[in-house]
Structure 1
């Protein structure tokens, strides 16, 4: 092992505060990113669910669909 004791490992010859602070910042940012990702995912799923419910409610309200085109037989003379 490179260090004689646990306190030497923590202090790292004077560089310990910088090293441990950067580890702490990294882990705090990773936890924040995970929490924000989960919240964003839940919000997106809820928004999609509301959209689907709105579409389902809207389709129940409309009446029978009207034909967009009508087809009639036309008699053409063969003269």
Structure 2
């Protein structure tokens, strides 16, 4: 095993803060991209429904 304990793994020598903050930032970015995609899809569906109802009434 490369690390003797869980604490050694989490600190990764002196690089732990950089490594874990990078993982956190990547997860935050991915979550925001997923949320943005879902919200955009819902918006498009709402717009298409309104357009369909408007055009079907004519």
TM over 0.5: yes
Number of residue pairs the alignment of both structures matches = 58
Instruction: Report what 2:6 is aligned to.
Output: 6
Question: RCO higher in 1 or 2 (8 Å CA, sep ≥ 6)?
Answer: 2
Q: Tell me the CA shift for residue 19 of structure 1.
A: 0.3
Give the TM-score normalised by the residue count of structure 2: 0.96
Instruction: Report what 1:21 is aligned to.
Output: 21
Give the TM-score normalised by the residue count of structure 1: 0.71
Instruction: Report what 2:35 is aligned to.
Output: 35
After superposition, what is the alpha-carbon deviation per residue over 1:46-79, rounded to whole angstroms, capped at 9, x for unaligned?
Answer: 0001001010011xxxxxxxxxxxxxxxxxxxxx
- Structure 1, unmatched stretches of 5+, are 59-79
Q: Tell me the CA shift for residue 9 of structure 1.
A: 0.2
Could you list the structure 1 runs, at least 4 aligned residues long, displaced by more than 6 angstroms after superposition.
none
- Distance in 1 of aligned mates of 2:57 and 2:16: 61
Q: Which has the larger radius of gyration?
A: 1
* Aligned-partner SS, 1:13: coil
- Distance in 1 of aligned mates of 2:38 and 2:16: 33
Structure with the larger helix share: 2
What RMSD over aligned residues (CA atoms) do the two structures have, in Å? 0.5
